[in-house]
Structure 1
Amino acid sequence: MKLYQGMGPSSYRVRIFMAEKGVELPMVEIDFAKGEHKTPEFLKLNSLGQIPVLELDDGTIITESVAICRYLEETHPEPPLFGADAVGRAKVEMWNRRAEFELLGTIGNVALHSDAFFKDRLVQFPAFAETERQAVPKKWAWLDRELADGRPYLAGDDFSVADITAAVCGWLGEVFGMEIPASLENVHRWNERVRSRPSWNA
């Protein structure tokens, strides 16, 4: 197998997931600044020109970070990062989707519609970016209220892919000047717990 990856939250999510599983794969670095994601060779792997891409030994291509993580979960089931039973899997799915929609989507919109890196890649709407930027603290405040019950991780007692997604959102926010508000003690305790794991440095 081979993983095509590079800078950005999606690749980071997969690398953390792999580290938690103890999975090591050959990696091909794709440089967005050099346009390597738009070369004819890469577009044969992913017609959308996005990373990460997992290429299996038989030539099968899997794109999208969660899909790649699900494949790795099936082939390396321990420790379970998508839940250990029906309830656990449902809760992890719920929290992973919430992290994607509420946090990643909002923070990502700020970056896409305000950062110069993306100005030639889409039509930017600065006013929309500012509206989303103002919403980010409210999203974290919502999560802080959810974590007020004292559970260690988003979906309960066990670390999961949902924690990876949400913590990477915190990292992405920092990159674009949207730090988690200091007053949100529950989020900060959870965030520190996730970042203390060896996989965070993947």
Structure 2
Amino acid sequence: MKLYDYGMAPNPRRVRIFLHEKGIEVPRETIDITKREGRTKEFLAKNPMGGIPVLELDDGTCISESVAICRYFEALHPEPPLFGATPAEIGEVDMWVRRLELYLMFQVGLVWIHGHKLTAHLLDQNPATAEFGRARTHAFYDILDKALEGRDFIACNRFTAAETVALPTLDFACQLVGVPYKDDHTNIKAWHDRMSARESSGA
């Protein structure tokens, strides 16, 4: 088994945080996306989308997409149950993972692709698309901040897969893309500080 990884990218970090919280160690191989190593013929045979992370099993089966990889490990190692322990918890965690991907990561990605100088060489950027993504990101921050009121965690009031998706996404948005939450999003700030203090945040 091998995990194809890249240290600075948010999606592989989701898996590393998840594995750390599970107490699972997996051999890793770095794929340098800045050198387009994910676009080689050999790597595209493992993941035709060209993205990371990718988990390659001993029989050669390859699983891509961070949440799918985490689901695989959850099935192998159900404790602690990071995707929920009851039907209601499973639904709640999946709801928040979906929301975080659609209404946060995807929107931040629009700003990254269409509004950041580091991606300007990749395509003809559309500033209006970047501003749309920025506005949608801030709208979701309002929703997330309200949802976190009186709560230590996003779902189930304990650490779950929702945290493994949210923390790398927020760090990516705030530190690299330039779409931070506002000072009055105090619930997000408190959550962010708590999650950043966990040992797994540095995985």
The bucket for the TM-score relative to the shorter chain is over 0.9
Q: C-alpha distance in 1, partners of 2:197/2:101?
A: 22
Range with bigger deviation, 191-200 or 112-121: 112-121
Question: Is 1:163 aligned to 2:163, yes or no?
Answer: yes
Pairing 1:86–2:49 present:
no
Tell me by how many angstroms 1:84 deviates.
0.8
TM-score (norm 1): 0.94
Q: Distance in 1 between matches of 2:170 and 2:23?
A: 24
Matches within 5 A, 1:93-108: 93-108=94-109
Q: Secondary structure at the match of 1:28?
A: strand
Q: Distance in 2 between matches of 1:134 and 1:152?
A: 26
1:39-188 alignment to 2 at 5 Å?
Answer: 39-148=40-149, 150-174=150-174, 175-188=176-189
Q: Which runs of 4+ in 1 moved over 3 A?
A: 116-123
| Partners of 1:84 and 1:135 in 2: CA distance | 32
How far apart are residue 123 of structure 1 and its match? 4.5
Q: Does 1:14 align with 2:15?
A: yes
SS of the residue 2:100 aligns to: helix
TM-score (norm 2): 0.93
Pairs aligned (count): 201
Query: What residue ranges of structure 2 are gaps of 5+ in the alignment?
Result: none
Secondary structure of 1:156's partner? coil
Mapped partners of 1:141, 1:160: distance in 2: 21
C-alpha deviation, 1:93, in angstroms = 0.3
CA distance in 2, matches of 1:46, 1:195: 31
Confirm or deny: 8 A CA contact 2:56 2:63 kept in the other structure: yes
Question: In the aligned structure 1, how far is the partner of 2:22 from the partner of 2:190?
Answer: 24
What is the identity percentage for the equivalent residue pairs of Structure 1 and Structure 2? 44
SS in 2 for 1:45: coil
Q: In the alignment, residue 38 of structure 2 is paired with which amino acid? A: H
What is the RMSD computed on CA atoms of the aligned residues? 1.4
